[in-house]
A and B are shown apart, each in its own frame.
Chain A
Amino acid sequence: MMGRSRKLPLTLALSPLAGRGDMPQLGLGACGLFPSPRARGEGGGSRMRGFVSRLLLILFILVPIPAFAVNPDEMLKDPALEHRAREISAQLRCMVCQNQSIDDSNADLARDLRVLVRERLTDGDSDGQVLDYVVSRYGEFALLNPRFSAKTVILWVMPIAALLIGILALVIFIRTRPSQRSVAALSAEEKARIDDLLGK
């Protein structure tokens, strides 16, 4: 494979291994590597969450989602469909790479998945159905944005919980602080002493 893999986001730079051709894209039998067809009966929750996350995504930074490794010959004629394909691709993990979406990857498996996504879309699948299909074939590991479920509950709830706990802690902090410092009623002894000092 002559892919220049996406070598490394060099934030810490110093890997002797990263980027050596033998590392990121070993076998392409990834279909065999992660074969966890999971029966996904419940779709309602995920659709709801999909809607919310899409809304947030639109609300948020990445309005136009750029594509990277997609090749001209893979692209769909219909621009709307192609746009959807890109959005889906950005959420799917290239499973033989390191933390890359199939949209960013040059690996053959990523290419196969991109083509698969486009085939399903042309067959009239909705975005959710395409994602469900990929998950049924490759497991949850394929999703870069994990679905809300029993096993990801901590992941999703954590930011909100941390924020709430933080706010709660602050409220308690603010409420209790002044009372600590504010004048405690004088004890009988103190009163006596003041009276004494004032010469009463």
Chain B
Amino acid sequence: MIVELGHYALVLALATALIVSILPMIGARRGDVALMTLGTTGSIALFLLVALSFGALTWAYVVSDFSVNNVWENSHSMMPLIYKYSGVWGNHEGSMMLWLLILTLFSALVAVFGRNLPETLKANVLGVQAWIASAFLFFILLTSNPFLRLNPAPAEGQDLNPVLQDLGLAVHPPLLYLGYVGFSVCFSFAVAALIEGRIDAAWARWVRPWTLAAWTFLTAGIAMGSYWAYYELGWGGWWFWDPVENASFMPWLAGTALLHSALVMEKREALKIWTVLLAIMTFSLSLLGTFLVRSGVLTSVHSFATDPTRGIFILCILALFIGGAFSLFAWRAPMLKAGGLFAPISREGGLVLNNLILTVATATVLTGTLYPLVLETLTGEKISVGAPFFNMTFGLLMLPLLIAVPFGPMLAWKRGDLLGALQRIYVFAALALAAGFVFAYLKGGGPILSIFGLALGFWGMFGAIADLWYRGNFGKLKFSVAFRRLAGLPRSAFGTAIAHFGLGVTVLGIFAATTFGTETVVDMKQGATVNAGGYQVTFDGMKDAAGPNYTEQRAHFTVREGGAVISDVWSSKRLYTARRMPTTEAGILTMALSQLYVSLGDPIDGGGMVVRIWWKPFILCIWGGALVMMFGGFVSLSDRRLRVGAPNRKAKAVKAAKPVMEPAE
């Protein structure tokens, strides 16, 4: 009964979404306040209905109701409770429900927190959000209904894919979707602005917190996914340039560009048209990612090539929204007025450079991801585009960007002084270079270009410190005065510095782990000891064990350094009984920021195992840096300007006459 209620709520949600799609927008055209307010209540109702429906599905999972086809396919009564919750989105139908839930959550948030939005803009934004929701509700109800029943009901479920039985599944998809789908708000704002034919700095100020929030979650989601893949897959890689990874990475790249261009627009009213275009592109890439993953057109390990109607359906949604938005853009964008002016060397100029490189990088990743597909469709020829291609092209594009990052915040708005910035920052550059050399020296040296890579990481970190240093003017003023100046800076300034620092940490981690990492692949008999990354690892033997829904063979290793035991590591091979599927659970020993990664291979003749041991120095910096970036995002999000919200357009004229209470930047 609860399941039917959930199904019913979903149908009601569709009806609600259709109403919110149409009436508030008509209200906005006619100036009918009652119709426009319908958008607010309707969006909240829509969210509640979808939440109810999602809750019903979750309930079916938690009580293991195997009469529901979706639960039967993806759950098992013996599965630990947390995976019963997270297993809801561990499959196609459920993940689309999560997508929808988050989409409507964002609509409801706009409805609730957008109190000071102009009524017409708010009605249009909520309307566009409801279009997207309607499309995906149709998609779920027509092709991916999670509420279908089975009769007779099976006694036991088929279990969740063992790889997904992990804490990662509980955290990664919701975070990722919060980011992915969060960009829908930017998209809706852009489309609404195009419909109204009006766009100004206040618009950018409304859009910026949403962009920032979405970007922050996406950063966390991608980092989390990368770490999950790293420890789950058992061979120590952390980024594979898999099409599906690219699908989530492209919105991140475009979203990062959007974050920066919205800043220019808010502060200087420049780059308006570009910002709108970027907002549309970012969410389009999110939709494209959904299509690529859901339709099975790509040979990816994530894809579910089960039902072609799904692919065609999403392709239609894709064509409708992307095509529609770009047509609208082509039609209306020329009506938007161009904004402020700036010299090429200026803060704006730096942000334009950021946008240029990030956009080209996005285009490169997009081409590389789709090229094999398009080529095969057109000519029938099969080629592969893999990690070597992306590492080279993407890496080369990132190089100038990483060098340029610390300069950006040093330049003044409108007209900057590059030479002045250089004079101030060269000390930090020298320090970064020195740090790179010292680092490499302590680690026993490395190729010269890797040392420059390390220095590049330090450069990002030191550059962020330099930014704060000069903002407080520490060199010139008394420490206490400078400190007070620093404390008085808006939080967004700290957010920027923290996020840029995090970027440097990630870069450092990438170079340190690839330069100084070692790999040892050996046949090990019981009692054998091998040297790996300066540690002696002894294989003590195997032991059988059983979990709730799997059996495993656990290997015990003792790790010594210079003869003294530091720790032990368990590494295992599991067999999930319901699906008869083997997995490898790597043993990972974390030492500060570095990790020793022990993975079991196949058994060898005459007893013993093939053992792979990786020493991954500073590998945690890669994800740690992303966490720092995320933290920077939250700090920036807590900025007063964003908390208080954008100024009311009507009140603007009055406000301008009074001295403005805003921190100058």
Indicate whether A11 reaches chain B with its CB closer than 8 angstroms.
yes
- Whether the pair B95, A61 counts as a contact (CB closer than 8 A) is no
Chain A binder among B166-174, B463-471, B620-628:
B166-174
B157: shortest Cβ distance to chain A, in Å?
12
Alpha-carbon separation in the docked complex, A14 to B300 (Å): 12
Chain B binder among A39-47, A113-121, A139-147, A188-196:
A139-147
Chain A residues numbered 148-190 whose CB sits less than 8 Å from any CB in chain B: 151-152, 154-155, 158-159, 162-163, 166-167, 170, 174, 177-178, 180-181
Nearest B residue (CB) for A164:
B360
- Whether the pair B244, A16 counts as a contact (CB closer than 8 A) is no
Indicate whether B39 reaches chain A with its CB closer than 8 angstroms.
no
Alpha-carbon separation in the docked complex, A70 to B580 (Å): 25
Nearest A residue (CB) for B388:
A145
Indicate whether A34 reaches chain B with its CB closer than 8 angstroms.
yes
- CB neighbours (8 Å) of A155 from chain B are 367-368, 371, 385, 389
Interface size class of A (residues with CB under 8 A): 35 or more
- CB neighbours (8 Å) of B375 from chain A are 151
Indicate whether B510 reaches chain A with its CB closer than 8 angstroms.
yes
Indicate whether A197 reaches chain B with its CB closer than 8 angstroms.
no
Indicate whether B480 reaches chain A with its CB closer than 8 angstroms.
no
- Whether the pair B521, A104 counts as a contact (CB closer than 8 A) is no
Indicate whether B651 reaches chain A with its CB closer than 8 angstroms.
no
Indicate whether B73 reaches chain A with its CB closer than 8 angstroms.
yes
- Whether the pair A61, B356 counts as a contact (CB closer than 8 A) is no
- Whether the pair B383, A68 counts as a contact (CB closer than 8 A) is no
Indicate whether B350 reaches chain A with its CB closer than 8 angstroms.
no
Q: Which of A61, A71, A154 has the most CB of B within 10 A?
A: A61
Indicate whether B34 reaches chain A with its CB closer than 8 angstroms.
no
Interface string of B385-411 (1 = CB under 8 A from A): 111110111011100000000000000
- Whether the pair A58, B90 counts as a contact (CB closer than 8 A) is no
Indicate whether A80 reaches chain B with its CB closer than 8 angstroms.
no
From the candidates B176, B233, B387, B396, name the one contacting A12 in the complex (CB within 8 A). Answer: B176
- Whether the pair B449, A163 counts as a contact (CB closer than 8 A) is no
Q: Which of B95, B239, B387 has the most CB of A within 10 A?
A: B387
Interface string of B225-245 (1 = CB under 8 A from A): 110110011111101111111
- Whether the pair A181, B352 counts as a contact (CB closer than 8 A) is no
Nearest A residue (CB) for B248:
A11
- Whether the pair A16, B247 counts as a contact (CB closer than 8 A) is no
Indicate whether B558 reaches chain A with its CB closer than 8 angstroms.
no
Indicate whether B200 reaches chain A with its CB closer than 8 angstroms.
no
Indicate whether B143 reaches chain A with its CB closer than 8 angstroms.
no
- Whether the pair A60, B352 counts as a contact (CB closer than 8 A) is no
Indicate whether B485 reaches chain A with its CB closer than 8 angstroms.
no
- Whether the pair B397, A159 counts as a contact (CB closer than 8 A) is yes
- Whether the pair B301, A57 counts as a contact (CB closer than 8 A) is no
Contacts A11-B176, A12-B248 hold; do A4 and B612 have CB atoms under 8 A apart? no
Nearest B residue (CB) for A97:
B301
Alpha-carbon separation in the docked complex, A19 to B574 (Å): 14
Contacts A18-B303, A34-B382 hold; do A4 and B234 have CB atoms under 8 A apart? yes
- CB neighbours (8 Å) of B453 from chain A are 61
- Whether the pair A181, B363 counts as a contact (CB closer than 8 A) is no
Instruction: Write 15 A-B pairs (CB below 8 A) sorted by A numbering.
Output: A12-B225, A12-B248, A13-B168, A13-B169, A14-B92, A16-B92, A17-B305, A63-B515, A66-B514, A98-B242, A99-B300, A145-B386, A158-B364, A159-B360, A163-B360
| Contacts beyond the supplied A6-B234, A13-B176, A70-B521: 18 A-B pairs with Cβ under 8 Å | A4-B573, A6-B301, A8-B233, A9-B244, A9-B302, A12-B247, A13-B173, A15-B92, A15-B303, A17-B303, A66-B519, A93-B384, A98-B301, A104-B237, A140-B382, A144-B386, A146-B383, A158-B364
Query: Which residues of B come within 8 Å of A, CB atoms?
Result: 73-74, 89-92, 94-95, 161-164, 168-169, 172-173, 176, 222, 225-226, 228-229, 232-237, 239-245, 247-249, 289, 293, 299-306, 338, 341, 344, 352, 356, 359-360, 363-364, 367-368, 371, 375, 379, 381-389, 391-393, 395-397, 446-447, 449-450, 453, 510-511, 514-515, 517, 519, 521-523, 573, 579-584, 601-602, 610, 612, 614
